[in-house]
Chains A and B, each alone.
Chain A
């Protein structure tokens, strides 16, 4: 399969199950909502060392937020329910609670599985906190020096989240690969239910499972490192001199597939030889995104 002259390899991206949630952060204006969201999702690229994966999902217009103010939706993922609750508690408490004018709302109110992060954070109010139930949802008003911080008591948890959806952009040069990756990120940006947790949505240091060093769970994906072509089992076609990866986490399989399709379509441009994917031979996870199947009809 080729798209605009770019070869789509017959492979699949191998992803794994995660627990996910969505937060909607609002503030007096978009600037402060974004300030909080950026801090909240800082150092959250990979569960390998960050304990969670998180990023901004999209902007939410005032007409769609619970308090009618500009909002930013953020998606959070971890490997299990307990750690998701803990990470939320830590990060909301340190980054959203502390940020001027913000409020923090549950972005998945219809899900039955709940994380009680807000209930834990309420104790910062030192017994001066006040609960309010509006529309069947409980909120906490926590007195702070600025005024009040309002947050949902619980947050819906998607148990069928998926982490590690991905595709690799095999470029003739570093410039071409980066331009294609940027185009892919722009095309994916704003897709509901999906985030790209790495810097700018792009990974330059894709990893393989395991390492030659004892105890390391991941190490450089040498098969796709151009500098190692002659000394390792290289997977790179001739003419490829730089590879970048787009990693996607999402609340469901269909959303990731849709985002991958948009991203791959945008990445197929001059200077790109092929699109591949991180396939770890079944060692990583049960969710397989077959590139050619996703791109059928594109």
Chain B
């Protein structure tokens, strides 16, 4: 058994869909078996070995090297083990993942962690639109696990989030947390227009500025105990750099969105106390 299985990407000219790259599956696969796994290059069926040099086998730790934004679906549906991606990745990274740890040492395309149900997805760079959101037509977005985006995120981050934690280290685009059902979306930078629109429950923690929709109602200014706990958890567990001043901050609580049940909240940072 090798400690890490390495998939080194060759030059990839066209979009490539790599489904089913689940490290847990690789525990029973040899180097040859892994190279023979199917991928989709446009409409043409192909194998992983056509695009990657595979080294190692029979391990639940997989590293993809020289990855680019043309490779879609990396880690989608993974159930366990470790997957590291050196470089950027395309869309649907970690979509539907249910367990394990997926780390991208670069930026990713749209729908990263969409409909994710468990595990940890960590993106060191930026994420495209709809990180942790629902897949097209689905009622629920992410239902469990954690997504950390150290950079910024595009529009509709956490749309229809049902459960779990999404953290955006920089700014989030428009409609962050749209129609949230529950769960938490922490945005350490600023939120674009329309944050929390249509949400039923759930928390948007806006640490760097937010335009609260007029359909939300101000409740009070206080120090939410779960916010400081979560921020410290991010520092201690995931090594994020977060100012003590943010941990000690007060927040304005707004309840919404208008309608039933209206139990969502936007927590807007105001100042240090």
> Using a CB–CB distance below 8 Å, which chain A residues touch chain B?
66-68, 103, 128, 130-135, 139, 141, 147-150
Contact between chains at B201 and A130 (CB < 8 Å): yes
Q: Does B230 contact A (CB under 8 A)?
A: yes
Contact between chains at A139 and B229 (CB < 8 Å): yes
Contact between chains at A148 and B233 (CB < 8 Å): no
Set A68, A103, A128, A131: member contacting B247, Cβ < 8 A = A68
Contact between chains at A67 and B201 (CB < 8 Å): no
Contact between chains at B165 and A67 (CB < 8 Å): no
Contact between chains at B226 and A133 (CB < 8 Å): no
Contact between chains at B222 and A135 (CB < 8 Å): no
Q: Write out, one digit per residue, whether chain B residues 217-229 have a CB within 8 A of any chain A CB (1) or not (0).
A: 0001011111011
With contact pairs A66-B233, A67-B232, A68-B247 given, residues A132 and B226 touching in the complex (Cβ less than 8 Å): yes
Known: A128-B263, A132-B184, A134-B233. 4 other contacts (CB 8 A): A66-B229, A148-B226, A149-B225, A150-B229
Contact between chains at A148 and B224 (CB < 8 Å): yes
Q: Does B178 contact A (CB under 8 A)?
A: no
Q: Write out, one digit per residue, whether chain B residues 15-30 have a CB within 8 A of any chain A CB (1) or not (0).
A: 0000000000000000
Residue numbers in B under 8 Å from A130 (CB-CB): 201, 203, 263, 265
Q: Does B98 contact A (CB under 8 A)?
A: no
Contact between chains at B224 and A134 (CB < 8 Å): no
Q: Could you tell me the distance between the alpha carbons of A147 and B222 in the complex, rounded to whole angstroms? A: 7
Q: Does B164 contact A (CB under 8 A)?
A: yes
Contact between chains at A133 and B165 (CB < 8 Å): yes
Least distance between B99 CB and chain A CB atoms (Å): 12
Q: What count of chain B residues pass the 8 Å CB interface test?
A: 23
With contact pairs A130-B201, A133-B164, A135-B237 given, residues A68 and B226 touching in the complex (Cβ less than 8 Å): no
With contact pairs A133-B164, A133-B165, A134-B165 given, residues A147 and B223 touching in the complex (Cβ less than 8 Å): yes
Q: Does B61 contact A (CB under 8 A)?
A: no
With contact pairs A66-B232, A68-B232, A68-B247 given, residues A132 and B225 touching in the complex (Cβ less than 8 Å): no
Q: Could you tell me the distance between the alpha carbons of A149 and B223 in the complex, rounded to whole angstroms? A: 11
Contact between chains at A67 and B184 (CB < 8 Å): no
Q: Could you tell me the distance between the alpha carbons of A147 and B247 in the complex, rounded to whole angstroms? A: 17
Residue numbers in B under 8 Å from A133 (CB-CB): 144, 163-165
Q: Could you tell me the distance between the alpha carbons of A89 and B202 in the complex, rounded to whole angstroms? A: 26
Least distance between A150 CB and chain B CB atoms (Å): 4
> Using a CB–CB distance below 8 Å, which chain B residues touch chain A?
144, 163-165, 182, 184, 201, 203, 220, 222-226, 228-230, 232-233, 237, 247, 263, 265
15 contacts between A and B (CB under 8 A): A68-B229, A68-B247, A103-B225, A103-B229, A130-B201, A130-B263, A132-B203, A132-B226, A132-B230, A133-B163, A133-B164, A133-B165, A139-B226, A141-B224, A148-B222
Q: Which 7 A-B pairs have the closest CB atoms?
A: A150-B225, A67-B229, A147-B222, A68-B232, A132-B226, A103-B225, A134-B230
Q: Could you tell me the distance between the alpha carbons of A132 and B144 in the complex, rounded to whole angstroms? A: 11
Residue numbers in B under 8 Å from A134 (CB-CB): 165, 226, 229-230, 233
Residue numbers in A under 8 Å from B225 (CB-CB): 67, 103, 141, 147-150
Q: Could you tell me the distance between the alpha carbons of A108 and B21 in the complex, rounded to whole angstroms? A: 36
Contact between chains at B224 and A135 (CB < 8 Å): no
Residue numbers in B under 8 Å from A149 (CB-CB): 225
CB-nearest residue of chain B to A62? B232
Residue numbers in B under 8 Å from A128 (CB-CB): 263
Least distance between B219 CB and chain A CB atoms (Å): 10
Q: Could you tell me the distance between the alpha carbons of A133 and B201 in the complex, rounded to whole angstroms? A: 14
Residue numbers in A under 8 Å from B164 (CB-CB): 133
Residue numbers in B under 8 Å from A147 (CB-CB): 220, 222-225
Give the interface centre of B144, B184, B224, B229 by most chain A CB atoms within 10 Å.
B229
Least distance between B217 CB and chain A CB atoms (Å): 15
Q: Could you tell me the distance between the alpha carbons of A67 and B220 in the complex, rounded to whole angstroms? A: 21
Q: Could you tell me the distance between the alpha carbons of A134 and B237 in the complex, rounded to whole angstroms? A: 11
With contact pairs A67-B228, A68-B228, A130-B201 given, residues A135 and B223 touching in the complex (Cβ less than 8 Å): no
Residue numbers in B under 8 Å from A132 (CB-CB): 184, 203, 226, 230
CB-nearest residue of chain B to A137? B233
Residue numbers in B under 8 Å from A148 (CB-CB): 222, 224-226
Q: Could you tell me the distance between the alpha carbons of A150 and B233 in the complex, rounded to whole angstroms? A: 15
Q: Could you tell me the distance between the alpha carbons of A189 and B91 in the complex, rounded to whole angstroms? A: 57
Residue numbers in B under 8 Å from A103 (CB-CB): 225, 229
CB-nearest residue of chain A to B220? A147
Q: Could you tell me the distance between the alpha carbons of A135 and B229 in the complex, rounded to whole angstroms? A: 11
Q: Could you tell me the distance between the alpha carbons of A139 and B237 in the complex, rounded to whole angstroms? A: 17
CB-nearest residue of chain A to B244? A68
Residue numbers in B under 8 Å from A135 (CB-CB): 233, 237
Q: Could you tell me the distance between the alpha carbons of A147 and B227 in the complex, rounded to whole angstroms? A: 13
Give the interface centre of A68, A103, A148, A150 by most chain B CB atoms within 10 Å.
A68
Least distance between A151 CB and chain B CB atoms (Å): 10
Residue numbers in A under 8 Å from B228 (CB-CB): 67-68
Give the interface centre of A132, A133, A141 by most chain B CB atoms within 10 Å.
A132
